[in-house]
Amino acid sequence: MTQVPAHTPPVQSKFPDMGTTIFTVMSALATEKDAVNLGQGFPDFDCDPLLVNAVCDAMRKGLNQYPPMAGIAPLREAVAGKIAASHGRRYDAGSEVTITAGATQAIITAILAVVRPGDEVIVLEPCYDSYVPNIELAGGTVVRVPLVPHTFRPDFDRIAAAITGRTRAMLINSPHNPSATIWSREDMLRLQDLLAPTDVLLISDEVYEHMVYDGQEHQSAARFPGLAARAFIVSSFGKTYHVTGWKVGYVAAPAPLTAEFRKVHQFNVFTVNTPVQHGLATYMGDPQRYLTLPAFYQRKRDLFREGLKRTRFEILPSEGSFFQCVDISGVSDLAEDDFCKWLTTEIGVAAIPLSAFYGNGFDQRVVRFCFAKKEETLNTALDRLAKL
């Protein structure tokens, strides 16, 4: 028999310039240097045992086969009820709520459902790192509009100038990753007025919706009829219930948009983990389990901010999410990226440079910490940071 040489055909990369994400780089460095990892955004504490028990009970009851493509009815009904109670808009659980394999899958599915080659999609920078590749995979053109530097407020004049006849969609994120700012009611009303005369769709990333502090309210796109009518609203059970590794989220959208969303959803994941869905549906029966979340995380935020006063960082506002940004200008002359590597290696605390969330690597001397950690983890990090 003739020996055929092994040959791996070359592939023309869809992302020839894409490297390893900064989150992977910094987490690997944190592990190597035995640093406290306040870089990547996930808790280091367990979820409520009652939630685990609810999932295990579902498994033991034999709820282990494929669920309906859009998600089990009890969970979709629980989501619809939560949105109605929190934001005053009632979505139809059957035709307007879809359970997804996390918020990231929800976002790419929404983009693939509505964006075609040549369409423009507005993203507000700094932004979550999946947005731009998702748009490019759909053949869309990314239109980057920066938030106001350092304050991270929407610049509506620049947003208005970016809208053209080719604009198909816009992504917004509040509470905001990475800056920890939130959009106000006035911001949302202004966006509603701006989009009213257009056919621009809205993808509203609201995964930190239950982490809003100091008595403020989360201004969901669902609260504003002119936005809700054109919006895919995305949220995450993983963020809300401290189970980021379960990768379960949801999308709420008007029935015509949901119909298009599900056409893609059924062929990129089809459906989502059955016993976890049943466990979440049971667990959501007590609304206090998400209504108490702002106070839970505000205690961590306040502890962390108080400890940061021992450093020379300028502490920026943290209105929502589980992130805290600081200006490093009073500490170092290093660029953000180099500073984060130095901080991890020499001080033993990992952070993320905000420049990683900009397409052009814009450096404004700001880095991001995650405070979704045990109190002892935060105190260890603060003791190390106090050396600065």
Tens of pLDDT, residues 250-277:
999 999 999 999 999 999 999 999 999 9
Does 266 map to a domain? yes
Of the pLDDT bands very low, low, confident and very high (cuts 50, 70, 90), residue 23 is confident
For residue 354, what is the domain's CATH number? 3.90.1150.10
Contacting residues for 10 by C-beta, under 8 A, at least 6 apart: none
Of the pLDDT bands very low, low, confident and very high (cuts 50, 70, 90), residue 355 is very high
Q: pLDDT, tens digit, for every residue of 211-220?
A: 999 999 999 9
**Which among 103, 317, 313 has a CA at the least distance from the CA of 203?**
103
For residue 150, what is the domain's CATH number? 3.40.640.10
Supply the range of the domain harboring residue 318: 22-41+291-385
Kindly state whether residues 60 and 177 are assigned to the same domain: yes
Contacting residues for 269 by C-beta, under 8 A, at least 6 apart: 100, 101, 105
Does 373 map to a domain? yes
The tally of CA atoms less than 13 A away on the side-chain side of residue 255 is 5
Q: Which residue's entry shows tokens 């507005």?
A: 122
Indicate the length of the chain as a whole number.
388
Does 243 map to a domain? yes
Of the pLDDT bands very low, low, confident and very high (cuts 50, 70, 90), residue 4 is confident
Q: pLDDT, tens digit, for every residue of 324-350?
A: 999 999 999 999 999 999 999 999 999
- Whether the per-residue pLDDT at 153 is higher than 70: the answer is yes
- Whether the per-residue pLDDT at 230 is higher than 70: the answer is yes
Measured from the Cβ of residue 136, the count of other Cβ atoms closer than 10 Å reads 17
- How far, in Å, CA of 163 to CA of 158, rounded? 9
Average pLDDT value for residue range 183-200: 98
pLDDT for 291: 93
pLDDT for 1: 67
Of the pLDDT bands very low, low, confident and very high (cuts 50, 70, 90), residue 353 is very high
- How far, in Å, CA of 351 to CA of 354, rounded? 10
The dihedral formed by the CA atoms of 174, 290, 91 and 68, expressed in degrees to the nearest 10 = 110
Does 14 map to a domain? no
- SS3 assignment for 335-347: CHHHHHHHHHHHH
- Whether the per-residue pLDDT at 222 is higher than 80: the answer is yes
Kindly state whether residues 212 and 340 are assigned to the same domain: no
Does 2 map to a domain? no
Average pLDDT value for residue range 309-321: 97
Q: pLDDT, tens digit, for every residue of 115-126?
A: 999 999 999 999
Split into its structural domains, the chain has a count of 2
- How far, in Å, CA of 292 to CA of 281, rounded? 18
Does 16 map to a domain? no
Does 202 map to a domain? yes
Task: Give φ, ψ of 177 to 5 degrees.
Answer: -105, 115
Kindly state whether residues 276 and 303 are assigned to the same domain: no
Show which of 228, 257, 285 is a domain's final residue.
285
- How far, in Å, CA of 351 to CA of 73, rounded? 40
Of the pLDDT bands very low, low, confident and very high (cuts 50, 70, 90), residue 17 is confident
pTM metric for this prediction? 0.96
The partner residues of 233 in beta bridges, in order of sequence, read: 204, 252
Kindly state whether residues 33 and 125 are assigned to the same domain: no
DSSP string computed for 219-265? --GGGSHHHHTTEEEEEEHHHHTT-GGG--EEEE--HHHHHHHHHHH
- Rg from Cα positions in the chain: 21
Kindly state whether residues 203 and 171 are assigned to the same domain: yes
Instruction: Give the pair of three-digit tokens for residue 229.
Output: 């009518």
Instruction: Give the pair of three-digit tokens for residue 156.
Output: 């509506």
With both helix axes pointing from N to C terminus, report the angle between 49-60 and 274-283 in degrees, rounded to the nearest 10: 130
Of the pLDDT bands very low, low, confident and very high (cuts 50, 70, 90), residue 42 is confident
Average pLDDT value for residue range 351-379: 97
Does 76 map to a domain? yes
- How far, in Å, CA of 247 to CA of 377, rounded? 24
- How far, in Å, CA of 313 to CA of 73, rounded? 48
Residue 244 CA from chain centroid, whole number: 11
pLDDT for 114: 98
Show which of 269, 285, 301 is a domain's final residue.
285
Write down the mean pLDDT value for the chain.
96
Show which of 231, 253, 285 is a domain's final residue.
285
